Structure 1
Amino acid sequence: MMSQEQNDLITRTGPKDPCGKLMRMYWQPAALLDELEGPRPVRPVKLLGEDLVLFRDEEGRYGLIERHCAHRGADLAFGRLEHGGLRCAFHGWLFDASGQCLETPAEPKGSNLCRGIKQRAYPVVEKGGILWAWLGEGEPPAFPEIDCFVAPGSHTFAFKGHIGCNWLQALEVGIDPSHASFLHRFFEDEDTSAAYGRQFRGASSGTDLPMTRILREYDRPIINVEQTEYGLRLIALREIDDERTHVRVTNQLFPHAFVIPMSTEMTITQWHVPLDDENCYWYAIFTSYAAPVDKKKMREQRLELYELPDYKSRKNKTNDYGFDPHEQETETYTGMGSDINVHDQWAVESMGPIQDRTREHLGTADKAIVQYRRLLRQEIDKAAKGEKPFMFLDAAHARSIQGPATMDGIGPTRGWETFWMEVDVKRRRGAPWAAPVTAEIDDKAPHLRVV
């Protein structure tokens, strides 16, 4: 079991917390690019316990600055975009994207007061349909060249959703392969041809067996966890018979993301970003290896559940997540509808704002969670000592972090070890964009090498 001190160490991410120091050594999703579309590109942002405001000026420059004005603390989220910056509506003080005060119009003419005033500000870049912020000190790391950042914009789609709990319990759902057989269990299977944009509703690669049936009927997976150069690889094996085994390959991308298969054509790369210690957003980039993403359909599907402007779920603790006992008896394991985001949100929010890990009892199915927590504690310790942590990448190393490979399919019970690599390589070779075959797979399966 874990002590309260150990639980605090790995969950709390404020500016003075050890895990907060670690998180500030990585780029963090701050908003979707879509959120700054429209006539007034200004959004309040909470990130790692800090209250900030994000804006785009007339020249297209992004600013992320302290939300409360340096003059007398008024809220800059209600400011006016004009004259190269964001102007406070209280006394007209003007701040540019770097946080520098440009004007203090209520002061006497010729006053130099503004020269010495600067709001706390952080760099912002756009990548994959997400605006990323660097809250650390010194030079930021490079972005890894993973698929969601390499693919063209036509083949990616970004979205997010709010969860009312600590970031870590939200992340740990994604590195828990066994829960899908229960939490996401459906008692009836649907037509898999209508599964576009919906997770766990299609057929597994190489078969017409619905994933819902596989998860329902084979609920004791063997889980293998491997350390990689980017985090962890999880391989969940569900043996169907002596000849066939369902293989699902997912990844933990350090520090707070996972990469999972959504369908035979698409993967999800998803980050779990602390707003404060009791709230987080998941940010996801959906990446297609086949046709361009139908962004209109993907967005409409998700807006059936999530309300703008805060991307909060219509099904939540205030309405019992839409729980229907009759549905639980006849249709779904949870009785909370067919959207698995609702299932996940209920599971992690029901643990409390910050899960009390001093009371949990882990089993062999939780081996990825155990390994991830060990890695997280190790890297928190490194950051506390002033060392560069795992996945703090320079430009050269960033180019080597590719993929990572994901797969969901039915292969041979003997020979699954190379089967999943073959499926991944075939998908990459057939992609209309230059989806790289990772060096690791190239080394392990040289017969798959692209010449």
Structure 2
Amino acid sequence: MINAEMNRKLTEIGAGTEAGAVLRRYWQPVALVDEFDGPRPVRPVTLLGEKLVAFRNEDGTYGLIDRHCPHRGADLCYGRLEDGGIRCPFHGWKFDTDGQCLETPAEPEESQLASRIKTTAYPVAVRNGILFGYLGTGEPPAFPKLDCFTAPDSHTFAFKGLIESNWLQALEVGIDPAHASFLHRYLEDDDPADAYGKQFRDYVGDTDIPMTRILRDFPRPKIDVETTDYGLRIMALRDLDGQAMHVRVTNQVFPQAITIPMSNEMTITQWHVPIDDENCYWYAIFTSFGNTVDKVKMRQQREALYIMPDYIPKVGKQNGYGYDPVEQKMRTYTGMGDDINVHDQWAVESPGPIQDRTKEHLGQTDVAIAAYRRLLLRAIKTVAKGEGTLPILDTPGGPGAIKGPIAIDTLAPHDTWRSAWLASEQKRREAAPWYLGTDSIAAE
């Protein structure tokens, strides 16, 4: 339980807010690269409460600038893409990707007004299907060498979805391993081979034991949390009656991402990106350590569940999350279908746009949530005082020293699990055709 002022400090992200100042020190997902396909590569973007426009020029370069023209405030999302810039249809003012006004064609020919006009513009970079932007001041930091960034495009797939709640609620579901035994419980085991959202339905390691059975039969995990250079490592341990230890390793990558195992050969890195204080997008990069990914199939699977172009879930609060009491009695714990994203959506959105944490009561299994809040509060203090270190950014060797992180779901001998899960991860990485080193394992 925290007080209202602390809840405000942790959740608000607009200009001038404390958590917002922390998030602006890091690269933020802006849009999927796929969103710029088609005849008009221009997208409206609201990010950290700022209204922006993202566009791609003919030469493939991207811009991210203030959505409103600095002349009379017209909406540049309707601008004309011309010769390396975007032109306002109101009076023809044209801006490049740096926000510099290039032309004011309605002004007298000798006018020097354009040279004095520069609108807000932010640095951008593309990483495996996602356009990132840096909304802070000064030079942006280097990208960490996360698996989702270092894997080739052929082994990654990016997607996103809208969540109608504050970003912190979405993140806190992602770092809560205990909820999977209930929210994602299936009352029967089935073949997950072609299932969407199968990370809680796949078989564990090299065994024939489905994850559904482990979660269902062993709902009281022991959760250990370790502070790392990148954020938090979260280990959920389930003792399978002394026969083996189920080890699930997930991560909180500061400030608002998670890296989790999806299957024996795939991980997901997912960012919870504030649109404003009451809405966010989840962005995800799926990274394969095995075969190349079938991007067409993966996109078709997911687009079937979302309303384009805003990536609004077809099943959500507007239709009761598809709740079926008969299904809840016979097949799934929630009665909300097989898509675990729908389960998470309900858990995230049902407390309201911004959860009233003054009424919550955390238990022992919420240790990662408490640890993250402390981490964010320390970062807020560091940014406010201008002294101290921030995760990833102030790592010895810089952000480039951050690799991995490890995310795995495996069974290990009960008395040797502490080393066995590392061995399982090493085996998976060595089998990856794109993996070039073992730094992230050797450093453990």
TM-score class, shorter:
over 0.9
Select between 167-176 and 390-399 the one with higher mean Cα deviation: 390-399
Q: Give the aligned partner of residue 59 of structure 1.
A: 59
Residue 267 (structure 1) aligns with:
267
Aligned partners of 1:421, 1:394: CA distance in 2, in Å?
Answer: 23
Q: Does 2:159 match 1:143?
A: no
TM-score by length of 2: 0.97
Shift in Å at residue 200 of structure 1?
1.4
Q: Distance in 2 between matches of 1:178 and 1:12?
A: 27
User: Do structure 1's residue 430 and structure 2's residue 431 form an aligned pair?
Assistant: yes
Q: Which residue is equivalent to 1:280?
A: 280
Distance 1:247 1:291, change over 3 A: same
List per-residue Cα deviations over 1:189-242 (Å, max 9, x = no partner): 111433476321210002111111111111111111111111111111111122
Q: Shift of residue 79 of structure 1?
A: 0.8
Aligned to 1:191: 191
- In structure 2, the residue matched to 1:409 is 410
Letter paired with 1:424:
E
**Which residue is equivalent to 1:447?**
none
The structure-2 alpha-carbon separation of the partners of 1:171 and 1:197, relative to structure 1 and needing over 3 Å to count, comes to: closer
Shift of 1:395: 9.7
CA-CA distance at 1:268 after TM superposition: 0.3
Q: Distance in 2 between matches of 1:325 and 1:291?
A: 39
Moved more, 191-200 or 292-301: 191-200
Q: Distance in 2 between matches of 1:435 and 1:303?
A: 33
Q: CA deviation at 1:396?
A: 3.6
1:57-104 residue CA offsets vs partner (Å, 9 max, x unmatched) = 222221100001111111110111113211111221111111111111
- Cα distance in 2 between the residues matched to 1:435 and 1:219: 37
Q: Given residue 438 of structure 2, which amino acid in structure 1 is its aligned partner?
A: V
Q: Does the aligned pair in 1 maintain the 2:128–2:158 contact within 8 Å?
A: yes
Instruction: Indicate the residue corresponding to 2:111 in structure 1.
Output: 111
**Distance (whole Å) between structure 2 residues aligned to residue 148 and residue 242 of structure 1:** 35
Asked whether the 8 Å contact 1:403–1:436 carries over to 2, the reply is: no
2:88 is the alignment partner of 1:84: no
1:45-444, aligned counterparts within 5 Å? Answer: 45-195=45-195, 198-387=198-387, 389-393=390-394, 396-439=397-440, 441-442=441-442
Instruction: Please give the per-residue CA displacement for 1:109-149, whole angstroms capped at 9, x wherever unaligned.
Output: 22222111111110111012110101111111111111111
Contact 1:182 1:333 in 2 (8 A): yes
Q: Residues 14-33 of structure 1: CA distance to partner in whole angstroms, max 9, x if unpaired?
A: 11101111111000000011
Residues 436 and 168 (structure 1), Cα distance of their counterparts in 2 relative to 1, 3 Å cut:
farther
Deviations 1:317-375 (A, max 9, x none): 11111111111111111111110001101111001101111110000000010011001
Partner amino acid, structure 1, of 2:80: R
Deviates more, 1:80-89 or 1:337-346: 80-89
Task: Label 1:339 to 1:218 Cα distance change in 2 as closer, same or farther (>3 A).
Answer: same
C-alpha contact (below 8 Å) 1:147/1:435 kept by paired residues? no
Check the 8 A contact 2:392/2:398 in 1, yes or no.
Answer: no
* Alignment deviations for residues 393-447 of structure 1 (CA, whole Å, 9 cap, x no partner): 58942232111111112221111111110110001111101253235x4255xxx
Question: How has the CA–CA distance of structure 1 residues 80 and 395 changed in structure 2, closer, same or farther, with 3 Å as cutoff?
Answer: farther
Matched residue type, 1:420: W
Alignment-derived partner of residue 449 in structure 1: none
Q: Are the counterparts in 2 of residues 404 and 438 from structure 1 also a CA contact under 8 Å?
A: no
State the one-letter code of the partner of 2:419.
Answer: T
Q: Which moved more, 1:192-201 or 1:287-296?
A: 192-201
**Distance (whole Å) between structure 2 residues aligned to residue 443 and residue 391 of structure 1:** 15
Aligned mates of 1:294, 1:64 — CA distance in 2: 30
Give CA-to-partner distance per residue, 1:241-279, whole Å, 9 cap, x none: 222121111111111111100000000011111111001
Q: Percent identity?
A: 61
Which one is further off, 96-105 or 3-12?
Answer: 96-105
The amino acid of 1:312's aligned partner reads: I
- The gaps in structure 1 that reach 5 residues or longer are 445-451
Distance apart, 1:5 and its partner CA? 0.6
Deviation at 1:158, TM superposition (A): 0.6
Distance 1:234 1:83, change over 3 A: same
Taking the aligned partners of 2:30 and 2:332, their CA distance within structure 1 comes to 34
Contact 1:143 1:393 in 2 (8 A): no
**Structure 1 counterpart SS, 2:86:** strand
CA contact (8 A) 1:156 1:288 kept: yes
Q: Which residue of 2 aligns with 1:448?
A: none
Task: Name the aligned partner's letter for residue 267 of structure 2.
Answer: T
Counterpart code for 1:172? E
What is the alpha-carbon distance in structure 2 between the residues aligned to residue 55 and residue 248 of structure 1? Answer: 40
Aligned pairs, number: 443
> 1:303 is matched by which residue type in structure 2?
E
CA distance in 2, matches of 1:44, 1:301: 25
The answer as to whether partners of 2:289 and 2:429 remain within 8 angstroms in 1 is yes
Structure 1: distance between partners of 2:436 and 2:10: 34
Looking at structure 1, the residues matched to 436 and 402 of structure 2 have their Cα atoms a distance apart, in angstroms, of: 13
Two-structure CA RMSD over aligned residues (Å):
1.4
- For residues 197 and 360 of structure 2, the distance between their equivalents in structure 1, rounded to whole angstroms, comes to 34
Give, in whole Å, the separation in 2 of the partners of 1:377 and 1:56: 37
- CA–CA distance in 1 between the matches of 2:402 and 2:94? 41
Kindly tell me: are residues 89 and 141 of structure 1, through their superposed partners in 2, closer, same or farther at Cα, counting changes over 3 Å?
same
Q: Which runs of 5+ in 2 are unaligned?
A: none
Structure 1 residue runs of 4+, over 6 Å off? none
**C-alpha separation in 2, matches of 1:55 and 1:98:** 12
Matches within 5 A, 1:13-32: 13-32=13-32
Question: Contact 2:395 / 2:401 at 8 angstroms: preserved in 1?
Answer: no
Contact 2:196 2:339 in 1 (8 A): no
Say which is worse superposed, 70-79 or 240-249, in terms of deviation: 240-249
What is the rounded CA distance, in whole Å, between the counterparts of 2:109 and 2:200 in structure 1? 65
CA distance in structure 2 between the partners assigned to 1:414 and 1:196 by the alignment: 34
